[in-house]
């Protein structure tokens, strides 16, 4: 499971960085989205990978903390998803404004000569 | 029970949030009412910040006040911490905010929607970032201030602003991703996000966890250095600051200092002398990167034709000087750096405001020729000149000239103003230690010469710009400048003057701040031993 997750995060962030370095604004926004997906998975994995263990302590089983998943990274990833979603939406608006004002979807606002 | 003064600690976050939300409800056409509410709120914020500064100054040298959000004790809940450094940053922020806001009321605040709301939310993010004692909470406040700054940099639109704003947003979104990776690595290695708890755990970490934590801290550091504009991470900065409208650029002068603040705080609390095997992690990088930034910024200052770019590059010089000072890890240098930071931030902010007034007189066509097309594009007809109401300044050119000369003296660090005192304190403390290693001595002398060189380059560039603006025009067009517009510039410059006259008192405060920063054990003790308010159930349910 660790290997699959690591490959997935690496694939997402790798493609994201490659797209981030491309000249078109659409590639930029997709690249940033992919990076934020990869980062969200990464935050999640920092709580250690466990299957079938609940993140909430029941009142009867407080004794064995090892049987539970760490809830904090799950809370963090939720915050990160919300913030990432909002900033991506905002960036899309800027992108459309730039497209309208400069008439080009190049990140510098004009085609390279 | 807690008194009102204990709750004052959260007021710098609550007040702008409530004001910003309130302003959102008002119709966009009611400029006067919105402006009135915004000014009242910012004035109140400044009063609160000054009260907090005196509160932080009253307590012993190394004491901080702690506010437990939700009444959970420190490592479990999020804490706000007020010490001398955060109080100083709060006051600096509110002073810049006052000046920028009053300046914007002359005409800028009407040139785009929701200026006042975004302005207040920016203040909320800034104050929160300065007060919080929790790494993830810091991320949230960073995002609040960045989201507001995205809106503000696009304020009053135009192709140049949108293009520069797009670069700014892309760079900062990538930086936010790095921030998250760093925070989660730190959490994965240490199991805590509270800065004080983290500092207590670092000396006891095993070898594997230590490697992970240092990696996480390095990635986190890159995210802050992007904000602070360290070379080569700060290439976006001059363009973005030049593009922003004048009052926005003036308040942005503090944005790069947020990065500096966090790096100063974290590098001393987490990787200070008590950190065991991780002690002084990253300081050599800060030192080298800071020196490179000063060099790059100074060359940029010399090379820039337009005054806006000059100011943008000077932000880099200021950042580089501060980063190098942090990398030296010496309480005396830190004290000088804090004084320099306050003085240079005020001066840069005043200069950003002044540029707009001075350039109003110039022929836009001549400007486009002088400036690289890359920087200005072809969008100078941004606002139609509407009939302005208000009192115009008599003897405009003389007033502008005096302000310009003061800015030049402050930025170049010439006597008699506070820029000189800041640089002098910094350099005098930097060459003090006689037992320095040879490598450190080389770094110190490089720092010394680079600071002098950056001052010289600022002087040359300012002189050239001043001659071109004030002396060269044959048929001089005198710009129409309102009292309301020159007053904020004068206010910021007078603050610098007060800092000069009261240099003894100011330096004593900075020295106490630096001393308490360099004894993080007191900070740790204050945060971790803060007791919840009795009788109130934690979590409030």
Say whether B143 and A20 touch across the interface (CB within 8 A): no
The pLDDT of residue B223 is 93
Secondary structure of residue A77 in the 3-state scheme: helix
On whether residue B2 sits in a domain, the answer given is no
A90 contacts in chain B (CB < 8 Å): 147, 150, 169
On whether residue B393 sits in a domain, the answer given is no
Say whether A90 and B188 touch across the interface (CB within 8 A): no
Say whether B188 and A46 touch across the interface (CB within 8 A): yes
The pLDDT of residue B370 is 46
Tokens 């004052």 belong to residue: B8
Structural domain of B444 = 9-372+401-535
**Chain A interface mutation, best of B174, B209, B378, B382, highest count of A Cβ atoms under 10 Å:** B174
On whether residue B457 sits in a domain, the answer given is yes
B174 contacts in chain A (CB < 8 Å): 20, 32, 35
Backbone angles phi, psi at B81, to 5 degrees: -125, 125
Pick the residue from chain A with its C-alpha nearest to B159.
A101
Per-position b or e across B243-281, b if 16+ CB within 10 A of its CB: bbbbbbbbbbbbbbbbbbbbbbbbbbbbbbebbeebeeb
What does the domain layout of chain A look like in residue ranges?
2-52+69-102
B169 contacts in chain A (CB < 8 Å): 87, 90-91, 94
**Which burial class, exposed, middle or buried, applies to B523 when counting CB atoms under 10 A from its CB (0-12, 13-18, 19+)?**
buried
A46 contacts in chain B (CB < 8 Å): 184-185, 187-188
Token couple for B403: 């302000």
- Residues β-bridged to residue B403: none
Q: In B, residues 355-384, which contact A (CB 8 Å cutoff)? A: 377
Cβ neighbors of A13 (< 8 A, separation 6 or more) are A34, A35, A38, A39
Which tens digits make up the pLDDT trace of B167-218?
999 999 999 999 999 999 999 998 889 998 988 888 888 888 889 999 999 9
State whether residue B113 sits within 8 Å of chain A by CB.
Answer: no
Distance, CA of A111 to CA of B323 (rounded, Å): 37
Token couple for B63: 């004491």
What ipTM score was computed for the predicted complex, to two decimals? 0.92
**Which burial class, exposed, middle or buried, applies to B289 when counting CB atoms under 10 A from its CB (0-12, 13-18, 19+)?**
buried
Q: Of B162, B176, B185, which has the smallest distance from its Cβ to A98's Cβ?
A: B162
Smallest CA–CA separation between A113 and chain B, in Å? 14
Q: Give the C-alpha distances (Å, rounded to integers) separating B125 from B17, B414, B511.
A: 9, 34, 27
The pLDDT of residue B55 is 85
Q: Of B136, B162, B185, which has the smallest distance from its Cβ to A94's Cβ?
A: B162
Q: Of B147, B159, B180, which has the smallest distance from its Cβ to A109's Cβ?
A: B159
pLDDT in tens, chain A (113 residues): 889 999 999 999 999 999 999 988 889 999 999 999 999 999 988 888 887 777 777 666 566 667 778 888 888 999 999 998 898 998 898 888 888 888 888 888 777 77
B163 contacts in chain A (CB < 8 Å): 98, 102, 108-109
Q: How many CB pairs under 8 A join A and B?
A: 90
User: Taking a C-beta distance cutoff of 8 angstroms, is the pair B371, B322 a contact?
Assistant: no
Compute the residue count for chain B.
541
Say whether A108 and B147 touch across the interface (CB within 8 A): no
Distance, CA of B425 to CA of B341 (rounded, Å): 12
Say whether B184 and A46 touch across the interface (CB within 8 A): yes
The pLDDT of residue B363 is 53
Among the listed residues B85, B100, B15, the one whose alpha carbon sits nearest the alpha carbon of residue B52 = B85
Distance, CA of B489 to CA of B102 (rounded, Å): 10
**Which burial class, exposed, middle or buried, applies to A104 when counting CB atoms under 10 A from its CB (0-12, 13-18, 19+)?**
middle
Q: Into how many domains does chain B fold? A: 1
Cβ neighbors of B307 (< 8 A, separation 6 or more) are B351, B355, B358, B359, B465, B469
Structural Rg of chain B based on CA atoms: 23
State whether residue A73 sits within 8 Å of chain B by CB.
Answer: yes
CA atoms within 13 A on the CB side of B286: 27
The pLDDT of residue A20 is 92
Among the listed residues B49, B64, B62, B54, the one whose alpha carbon sits nearest the alpha carbon of residue B512 = B62
On whether residue B381 sits in a domain, the answer given is no
Token couple for B207: 């070898």
Cβ neighbors of B421 (< 8 A, separation 6 or more) are B339, B343, B499, B500, B503, B507
A20 contacts in chain B (CB < 8 Å): 170, 174
State whether residue A94 sits within 8 Å of chain B by CB.
Answer: yes
Token couple for A74: 């799950």
Q: In B, residues 147-206, which contact A (CB 8 Å cutoff)? A: 147, 150, 154, 157-159, 162-163, 165-167, 169-170, 173-174, 176-177, 180-181, 183-185, 187-188, 193
State whether residue B212 sits within 8 Å of chain A by CB.
Answer: no
Q: Give the C-alpha distances (Å, rounded to integers) separating B17 from B51, B77, B198, B307.
A: 19, 21, 29, 34
**Chain-centroid distance, C-alpha A110:** 29
On whether residue B174 sits in a domain, the answer given is yes
Say whether B154 and A36 touch across the interface (CB within 8 A): no
On whether residue B390 sits in a domain, the answer given is no
- Which residues, given as ranges, of chain B have pLDDT below 70? 1-2, 59-62, 361-394, 433-436, 473-477, 535-541
**Chain A interface mutation, best of B188, B191, B212, B381, highest count of A Cβ atoms under 10 Å:** B188
State whether residue A101 sits within 8 Å of chain B by CB.
Answer: yes
């Amino acid at each position: 499971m660790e290997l699959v997750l690591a490959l997935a995060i690496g694939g997402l962030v790798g493609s994201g960085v490659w797209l981030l370095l491309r000249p078109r604004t659409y590639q930029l926004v997709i690249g940033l989205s992919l990076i934020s997906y990869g980062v969200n998975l990464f935050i999640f994995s920092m709580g250690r990978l466990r299957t079938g263990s609940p993140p909430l302590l029941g009142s009867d089983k407080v004794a064995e903390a090892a049987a539970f998943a760490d809830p904090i990274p799950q809370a963090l990833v939720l915050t990160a998803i919300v913030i990432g979603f909002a900033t991506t939406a905002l960036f899309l608006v800027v992108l459309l404004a730039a497209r309208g004002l400069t008439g080009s979807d190049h990140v510098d606002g004009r085609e390279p000569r | 029970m807690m008194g009102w003064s204990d709750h004052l600690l959260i007021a710098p976050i609550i007040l702008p949030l409530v004001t910003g939300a309130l302003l959102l409800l008002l119709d966009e056409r009611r400029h006067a009412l919105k402006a009135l509410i915004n000014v009242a709120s910012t004035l109140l914020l400044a009063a609160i910040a000054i009260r907090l500064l005196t509160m932080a100054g009253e307590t012993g040298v190394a004491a901080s006040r702690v506010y437990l959000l939700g009444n959970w004790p420190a490592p479990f809940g999020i804490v706000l911490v007020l010490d001398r450094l955060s109080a100083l940053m709060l006051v600096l922020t509110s002073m810049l905010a006052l000046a920028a806001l009053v300046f914007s009321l002359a005409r800028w605040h009407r040139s785009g929607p929701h200026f006042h709301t975004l302005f207040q939310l920016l203040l909320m993010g800034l104050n929160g970032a300065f007060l919080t004692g929790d790494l993830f909470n810091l991320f949230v406040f960073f995002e609040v201030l960045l989201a507001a700054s995205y809106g503000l940099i696009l304020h009053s639109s135009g192709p140049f602003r949108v293009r520069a704003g797009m670069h700014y947003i892309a760079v900062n979104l990538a930086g936010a991703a790095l921030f998250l990776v760093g925070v989660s690595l730190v959490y994965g290695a240490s199991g805590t996000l509270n800065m004080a708890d983290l500092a207590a755990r670092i000396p006891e970490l095993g070898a594997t966890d230590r490697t992970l934590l240092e990696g996480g801290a390095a990635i986190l550091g890159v995210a802050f250095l992007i904000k602070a504009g360290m070379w080569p991470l700060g290439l976006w900065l001059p363009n973005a600051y030049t593009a922003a409208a004048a009052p926005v650029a003036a308040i942005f002068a503090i944005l790069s200092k947020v990065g500096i603040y966090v790096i100063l705080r974290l590098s001393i609390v987490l990787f200070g002398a008590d950190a065991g095997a991780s002690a002084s992690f990253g300081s050599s990088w800060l030192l080298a990167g800071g020196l490179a930034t000063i060099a790059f910024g100074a060359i940029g200052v010399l090379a820039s034709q337009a005054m806006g770019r000059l100011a943008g590059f000077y932000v880099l010089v200021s950042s580089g000087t501060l980063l190098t000072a942090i990398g030296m890890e010496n309480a005396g240098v830190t004290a000088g750096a804090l004084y320099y930071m306050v003085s240079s931030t005020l001066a840069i902010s005043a200069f950003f405001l002044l540029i707009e007034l001075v350039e109003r007189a110039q022929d836009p066509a001549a400007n486009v020729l002088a400036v690289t097309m890359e920087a200005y594009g072809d969008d100078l007809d941004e606002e139609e000149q509407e009939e302005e109401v208000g009192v115009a300044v008599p003897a405009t050119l003389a007033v502008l000239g005096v302000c310009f000369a003061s800015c030049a003296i402050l930025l170049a660090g010439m006597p008699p103003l506070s820029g000189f005192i800041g640089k002098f304190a910094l350099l005098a403390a930097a060459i003090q230690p006689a037992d320095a290693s040879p490598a450190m001595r080389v770094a110190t002398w490089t720092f010394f010469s680079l600071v002098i060189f950056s001052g010289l380059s600022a002087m040359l560039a300012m002189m050239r710009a001043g001659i071109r603006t004030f002396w060269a025009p044959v048929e001089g067009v005198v710009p129409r400048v309102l009292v309301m517009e020159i007053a904020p510039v004068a206010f910021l410059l007078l603050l610098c003057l007060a800092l000069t006259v009261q240099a003894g008192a100011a330096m004593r405060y900075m020295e106490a701040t630096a001393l308490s920063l360099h004894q993080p054990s007191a900070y740790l003790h204050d945060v971790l031993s803060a007791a919840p308010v009795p009788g109130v159930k934690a979590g409030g349910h």
